[in-house]
Amino acid sequence: MKALIRQAVRTGFTFGIVNIFFVLIGFNTLIGILLAKLSGIKQPGIIPAPKFLIIYTLLIGLWVGFSAIAKKNELEFGKKVLISGLAGLTTGFLAGLLNAVLAFLLINKVNARDFLTVLSFDFIKGTLFGLPPVSGILMTVVYFTLASLVGGTILALLNLKPVKNAWNATKFFIRSEVDKIQTVTQGKNRLLWQILAISLVAVIVVILPLKWGSYWNYVFGTVGLYVILGLGLNIIVGLSGQLVLGYIAFFAIGAYSMALLNSPVPHNLMWGFWPALVLGVVLAALSGLLLGLPLMRLRGDYLAIVTLGFGEIIRILLKSDLLTKFTGGPRGIQNISGPTLFGKPFASDIDFMFLIIGGVLLAVFVYSRLQHSRTGRAWLSIREDELVARASGVNTVTYKLLALAIGAAFAGLAGGIYASRNQFTGPDEHALMASINVLSLIIVGGMGNIPGTLLGAFALKGLPEILREFANFRLLAFGALLVFMMLSRPEGLIPSRRPKYQLPKDPDKIDSGKEAKND
Amino acid sequence: MNETGPLPVAQKGDNHRKRVRILKLLRPALGVVVLLFILFRMYQVLVVQHEFGPDTWTRLLISGLIIGAVYALIAIGYTLVYGILFMINFAHGEVMMFGAYAGLFAFQAFGAIKISSEPPTSFLNAYPVIAIILAFLIGMSISATLGYFLEKIAYRPLRKAPRLVPLISAIGASIFLQNAAQLLFSPQLRDVTNPEILKRGEGWKILINGSNVVISYTGVFTFVLSVLLLIGLYIIVQKTKLGRAMRAVALDKNTAALMGIDVNRTISRTFIISGALAGAAGVMWGLHNGLVYYFVGFIPGIKAFTAAVLGGIGNLPGAMVGGLFLGIIESMGPAALGIDFQLKDVLAFVILIFVLTFRPSGLLGEVLAEEKV
């Protein structure tokens, strides 16, 4: 029992700290404002009405209750409720302490905004739920404890036998239905089903850009470009196992080739879109080769840091006064002309969306052909163990350089389209954060496979656009997500499936197989 | 099949060997070319053009030494952690940033406490020594705490994972801390209130070549304190029980555990020490440069890593030498090569690439087994 109490207090304490952090970065008001928006009430200021802050408190309290008794299935019902209450009380106590400090600041009229930027007096009044200080502090404790108790009770009820049985039955039913569908699609008519699925996707892909507004075309265009980037980086990191952090430098090379060759301002060359795109891809691939040549001995962390340095070098050079005449300096290049196809200029977002979809399809095609080819297998062997790969006759240097060049070419393609679509490119678009974005999307989605990259690009580039209220918190959540993914699911949301060599279940078959080989 | 088999294979091997020989020659040849170019360029700038007098060079050397000392202090943190866990603590620069913020707030708070109203004096100027010591203690303890929790939350569960995993976790932690600072303290740039005796920009003046060269008080303070901390750290690592445990864990965790060393605790303490040093570096950064913002740790972090690699990562004297060396190169290099001062960061990264290409073990590092590199 003592150990249980200690655990409960520890859970409550952790959540208490998290809650204090949330309050100090103003996360509670953000949730409150969102709730207010959802319920359709217009807010006058940036501090939501107290009832929404109470809902935030209750939600956190529920979460404390859930996690206090999670994974404690063997306990009795009463103990569970007790523990969740205790955890909630601890969290509430910490939150109460914070509120006491805030109330002290409020009463003495100390302006703490110089130190912590959210702590305006209105904010403090809101955190005290608009009540007088003492009752505000007390209510904080009460709300947390109650909500945690309720959360614990709900979870405990869910774990009671009848509820659990019903849940299991539903799960079983769903799974068997899914299995049935799978057997149908995997059976004799597999090809037919595949064609059906592909044509469905194709129809959606053709129709959606026409139906969306230009905003959504823009957002999903960005997602598509990031898919191309993600696939390219996947070749380098996911398949051949070289951690490259300055990947966006290749993107910059593609974008700047497009910009310099198609913009009136620094040079007025006006080559047109397609030659510039091809040149950008070739230049990016060449720079990948050139960067790779001296670095073939390095691996892991060292390669990461050197390529990071390379990315920064490119960015600083683009920004510097030295090259201002050539690259436009910190202001970037404007008025990049768009592509034309058979004499018809690309005018609308829809055209660009189709261009990007074409690029994505090309990238997916190249990637999937490479992945299962001899080259792809060589990359995999290098990723798993370079020494063994070399011993088995894989020319590791050639294959690693090839991976860098192809990955860089993908980035060059994306960069060219990007610059042409935005009609602008500047050095700050190619900062380290963009490289880390691409790396994160393939890690979150699942390293080394196409569906993972698609999912990752959507999750990291599409979702933030949909959840615009969270703009300030996006990168914070992003960092936390990376750590969390590494701790809980390092293989990504959609892990790569490896072709496995399976022994047949029937032992006689193994024998016959051996005999067949001996023949 | 069997008769013709060996011949082509042997030929292929010969070709391959030839190619490898060419590649091996290529590297030193490239190095010689680059070296010659640098010498030529230096000759051109220093002898032919003769743009800067000795006063400018002294100025550059002084600023290089000061920034180098700070780099050395941060680089020690990278080296300590790398020596034990073989991972780059990517969030180390952010640990330093939090130390800088702690120092900033401490000075601000001390400046706001009024001791006497006639004449108006604040605690900061009435007892500057105590205030500075307190500010450093606050900064170092905040950063040390942060380092401890960073290891506990983001790195410890991943100790047995493939090496990419903790690195990405570290990148995530770095992004998280940066944005947490931005949300907590607002994105604006802040000025540090220095105590009167350590005013920025003031210092001893030396007359060289007819012009005044200022050796700033903050610069001397930063340099001396860094050297003292480095000596202190060296004594801890070489002479104390904790230092012996750290070295043992760095050599072999399992054997160290068998010898009765608590590996987890030793690693935690390593992070605490490296965090404390980074915190001190942060407070100094604030005192000397005067500006603190949420991105302040990023560039020094990368530079300090470069310094650690330059000296040989995992090697304590190497990190110190590498830091000073990088600081001096960064401040004097652009002038010596006659390039724009904007490009000093490029110079640092180019040096990193060259060191890793030609001598991956660093200036002072021993040659590591391939497994560790």
CB contact (8 A) between residue B176 and residue A480: yes
| Confidence bin at B5 (pLDDT 50/70/90) | very low
pLDDT at A514: 45
Give tens-digit pLDDT for B55-69.
788 888 888 999 999
Residue B355, pLDDT > 70, answer: yes
**Using CA atoms, how far apart are residues A355 and A344, in angstroms rounded to an integer?**
14
Question: At residue B144, does pLDDT exceed 90?
Answer: yes
Who among A310, A472, A479 is closest to B172 (CB)?
A: A479
Domain range for residue B108? 25-358
Q: Residue B206 — pLDDT band, cuts 50, 70, 90?
A: confident
How many angstroms separate the CA of residue A27 from the nearest CA in chain B? 10
pLDDT (0 to 100) of residue A228: 92
Q: Given phi > 0 = left and psi -120 to 50 = alpha, else beta, which region is A310?
A: alpha
Residues from chain A contacting residue B105 (CB–CB below 8 Å): 115
Contact A301 B27 (CB under 8 A): no
Each residue of A13-39: pLDDT tens digit? 888 888 888 888 888 888 888 887 777
In a domain, B15, yes or no: no
Side chain identity at residue A420, one-letter code: S
In a domain? residue A197: no
Clarify whether residues A249 and A145 are in a common domain. Answer: no
Q: Which domain holds residue A32?
A: 2-167
A280/A392 same-domain check: yes
Contacts of A247 in chain B (CB under 8 A): none
pLDDT digits (tens, 9 = 90+) for B268-289: 999 999 999 999 999 999 888 8
> pLDDT band for position B94 (50/70/90)?
very high
The answer to whether position B1 is within a domain reads: no
Chain A residues touching B183 at Cβ < 8 A:
25-26, 117-118, 472-473, 476
Q: A245 with A162, same domain?
A: no
**A299 phi-psi bin (left φ>0, alpha ψ -120 to 50, beta other):** beta
- CATH number, domain with residue A313: 1.10.3470
Is A180 within the bounds of a domain? Answer: no
Q: What is the Cα–Cα distance from A441 to A225, expressed in whole angstroms? A: 12
* A501 within a domain of the structure (yes/no): no
On the question of pLDDT at B3 being above 70, the answer is no
With respect to residue A186, please indicate whether it lies within any of the assigned structural domains.
no
In terms of domains, do A138 and A69 share one? yes
Q: Classify residue A133: in a domain, yes or no.
A: yes
Query: Using CB atoms, which residue from B171, B348, B370 is nearest to A436?
Result: B171
B364 in any annotated domain: no
CATH code for position B105: 1.10.3470
Smallest CA–CA distance, residue B169 to chain A, in Å, is 4
Mean pLDDT of all residues in B295-310:
85
Beta bridge partners of A344: A341
> Is B88's CB within 8 Å of A301's CB?
yes
Kindly state whether residues A123 and A264 are assigned to the same domain.
no
**Are residue A222 and residue A112 in the same domain, yes or no?**
no
Q: Return the H-helix or E-strand segment holding B123.
A: helix B123-126
Chain A residue numbers touching B306 (CB-CB < 8 A): 305, 309
Judge whether A517 lies within some domain: no
Structure tokens at A128: 């005290």
Q: Do B346 and A295 touch (CB under 8 A)?
A: no
What 3-state class would DSSP assign to A296? coil
Tell whether A195 is covered by a domain. no
Tokens of A217: 């075309």
Q: Do the domain assignments include residue B76?
A: yes
Give the total number of structural domains in chain B: 1
Specify whether A233 is located in the same domain as A299.
Answer: yes
Query: How many contacts does A have with B, using Cβ atoms within 8 A?
Result: 157
CA distance A213 to chain B (A): 32
Question: Could you report the per-residue pLDDT of B258-268, keeping only the tens digit for each?
Answer: 988 999 999 99
- A413 and A268 in a single domain? The answer is yes
Within-domain flag for B105? yes
In this prediction the pTM is 0.84
Query: Taking the mean position of all CA atoms in its chain, how far away is CA A21?
Result: 23
pLDDT score of A44? 63
The mean per-residue pLDDT over the stretch B146-150 comes to 92
A-interface mutation test, from B110, B164, B174, B305, most A Cβ less than 10 A away: B164
How many domains is chain A built from? 2
Which range, of A481-485, B4-8, B356-360, averages the lowest pLDDT? B4-8
Give the model's pLDDT for residue A260.
84
DSSP code per residue over A220-277:
HHHHHHHHHHHHHHIIIIIIT----S-THHHHHHHHHHHHHHH-TTTT-----HHHHH
Positions in chain A short of pLDDT 70: 42-45, 185-188, 268, 299-300, 343, 347, 467-469, 498-519
Assembly ipTM: 0.82
What's the pLDDT at B4? 43
Interchain CB distance below 8 Å, A294 and B166: no
Peptide bond just before A133 cis, omega within 30 deg? no
Give the integer Cα–Cα distance in Å for A43 and A215. Answer: 26
Percent of chain B with pLDDT over 70: 91
Question: Domain for residue A293, yes or no?
Answer: yes
Closest CA relative to residue A249, chosen from B346, B306, B359, B304: B346
